[in-house]
Amino acid sequence: MFFCIGKFNFFNENIYKLNDKSNVNCVMSLKSDDPNYFAHLYNDSDRDKKYIKILDSTLREGEQHPGVSFSNKQRIQIAWMLDSFGVDQIEISPIVSLDHRDATKIILKQGLKADIVAHVRAIKSDVDVAIDCNASWVATYLGISDIHLSSKLRISREEAKIRALEVADYIKSHGLKSRFTMEDASRTDPDFLLDMCKEISNRGMERISIPDTVGIMRPRGMYNIVKFVHDNIDTSKTSLDVHCHNDVGLALSNALSGCEGGADQIHTTIDGIGERTGIPTLAETAVALNLIYKSNNDFRLHMLKDLSRTISEYTKIPIHESKPLVGDSSYKHKAGTHLAAILRNPSAYEIIEPKLVGNRRKIVFGELSGKNGSAYLLSILGLGASKDNAESLARGLKELRMGDILELYLDETLERKILNEGYMKTNKDKNGKS
């Protein structure tokens, strides 16, 4: 479809007003009315679409972040919020303390939609704690790389296998649904990894987690390891989770790549908190799945900013300004050329509207504003936005040499005005002209 936007009259009475149709200037052509259309083509978004779930581990991995410890009241509230957001599973560790055990029991009684997964070591007495909590899902983990076996557990591969299988049988004899985590899988001998996965799958465990415990993988590596396991076990019986650490900043890319290799669930935490540098953030994962991978989840994305704010308040870890989607600057626009485009149509520099993730759009005025930004500033102040005024304000802002001087939310009315007037409705003209 061919799509034109009328020439804007920036320097007369109203900078948002479209000129009449006779002065139409074709500034862009789009294949559809989705500005992300070609990106989705490059991304192959419509091919191999698959439903990818989220397990959120804020209450388990998140509490392993240095300095973080929630109260039981907070744990229960977080579980409710995560459930209402729409994650598929919520993980909590009942073995950390008696408080954690109580929190697990109480959360299990809430009747949430999400599965509550009790995360414990691969030890029968730990599984007993999960059973005591009345858990229906239990996840057990065991380090199986040589370095974990020799330096942490001080057992042989054979002993590890015996321990894992005994625990698996124990869990199954209690009729629990279960996941087995092959801790440090990414540094484990592939033959041993596969042997363990096959045995665990044969024991009827519903899920196996393939973690990159130390964040050493690249996306292709994560794809390879997951595909290797996926192609060699019966995934109609046992599905795969990916749990990727962010030591080099590749956690989410690796996790998504693991899903292309056959996993169907990603582990996240709110704001990505966890051991060291943590794991993928819930916000980035949910939006990537929804917007970029076209996974058909029923997430309440508008809760994301609030979830992040709540966790930041409880952990006292400030949300970094440039944190994707939930950070304060995620929707700030500054350079004059950007402002000019944003004021016509925010999609020029935004792939998802701020309010869809509970965030807000801000514009920044200062020496980079240029004449478009200046014209806008003059117009909202009710001053004449003539070309001359705008140019002299732009010059003045530069001469001040104070960098940014003002930040402004585009409040609802202003946003609506911009969106209504700046966005041409392509469906008005089915022949493709406007």
Q: Which of residues 253-292 bind ligand HCA (CB under 6 A)?
A: 267, 275
Query: Judged by CB under 6 A, does residue 139 bind ligand HCA?
Result: yes
Stretch that binds Cu ion, among 53-61, 148-156, 201-209, 291-299 (CB under 5 A): 53-61
Q: Residue 279 Cβ, how far from ligand HCA at the closest point, in Å? A: 7
Closest CA relative to residue 181, chosen from 55, 51, 53: 55
How far out from the chain centre does Cα 409 lie? 24
Q: Which of 4, 56, 58, 61 binds ligand HCA (CB under 6 A)?
A: 61
Query: Judged by CB under 6 A, does residue 94 bind ligand HCA?
Result: no
Q: Residue 306 Cβ, how far from ligand HCA at the closest point, in Å? A: 26
Query: Judged by CB under 6 A, does residue 209 bind ligand HCA?
Result: yes
Token pair listed for 24: 């139409």
How many residues belong to the site for Cu ion (CB under 5 A)?
1
Which single residue brings its beta carbon nearest to Cu ion?
A: 61
Stretch that binds Cu ion, among 56-64, 154-162, 189-197, 234-242 (CB under 5 A): 56-64
Query: Which is nearer to Cu ion, 181 or 372 (by Cβ)?
Result: 181
Query: Judged by CB under 6 A, does residue 88 bind ligand HCA?
Result: no
Helices (H), 346-386: 370-380
x/- string (CB under 6 A) for ligand HCA, residues 63-82?
-x------------------
If you write DSSP's letter for every residue of 92-161 in order, what string do you get?
E-TTS-HHHHHHHHHHHTT--SSEEEEEEESSHHHHHHHHHTT-SEEEEEEE-SHHIIIIII---HHHHH
- Angstrom distance (rounded) from CA 95 to CA 130: 8
Q: Residue 157 Cβ, how far from ligand HCA at the closest point, in Å? A: 18
Which of Cu ion, ligand HCA, none does residue 209 bind to, with CB < 5 to 8 Å depending on kind?
A: ligand HCA
Q: Residue 133 Cβ, how far from ligand HCA at the closest point, in Å? A: 17
Q: Residue 275 Cβ, how far from ligand HCA at the closest point, in Å? A: 6
Query: Judged by CB under 6 A, does residue 115 bind ligand HCA?
Result: no
Which phi and psi (to 5°) does residue 377 adopt? Answer: -60, -45
Which of ligand HCA, Cu ion, none does residue 422 bind to, with CB < 5 to 8 Å depending on kind?
A: none
Query: Which is nearer to ligand HCA, 89 or 209 (by Cβ)?
Result: 209
Closest CA relative to residue 89, chosen from 107, 71, 116, 124: 116
Closest CA relative to residue 141, chosen from 158, 154, 153: 153
One-letter amino acid at 148 equals H
Stretch that binds Cu ion, among 58-66, 189-197, 415-423, 424-432 (CB under 5 A): 58-66
Stretch that binds Cu ion, among 37-45, 54-62, 65-73, 281-289 (CB under 5 A): 54-62
Half-sphere exposure of 47 (CA within 13 A, CB side): 5
Q: Which of 213, 268, 312, 359 binds ligand HCA (CB under 6 A)?
A: 213
- Angstrom distance (rounded) from CA 91 to CA 94: 10
Query: Which is nearer to Cu ion, 10 or 137 (by Cβ)?
Result: 137
The answer to whether 18 and 230 are in contact (CB under 8 A) is no
Residue 399: enclosing H or E segment and its boundaries?
helix 387-400
- Check the CA dihedral 116-120-125-127 and report its sign: positive
One-letter amino acid at 127 equals V
- Angstrom distance (rounded) from CA 295 to CA 160: 37
Q: Residue 274 Cβ, how far from ligand HCA at the closest point, in Å? A: 7
Binding site for Cu ion (CB under 5 A): 61
Binding site for ligand HCA (CB under 6 A): 61, 64, 139, 141, 181, 183, 209, 211, 213, 243, 245, 267, 275
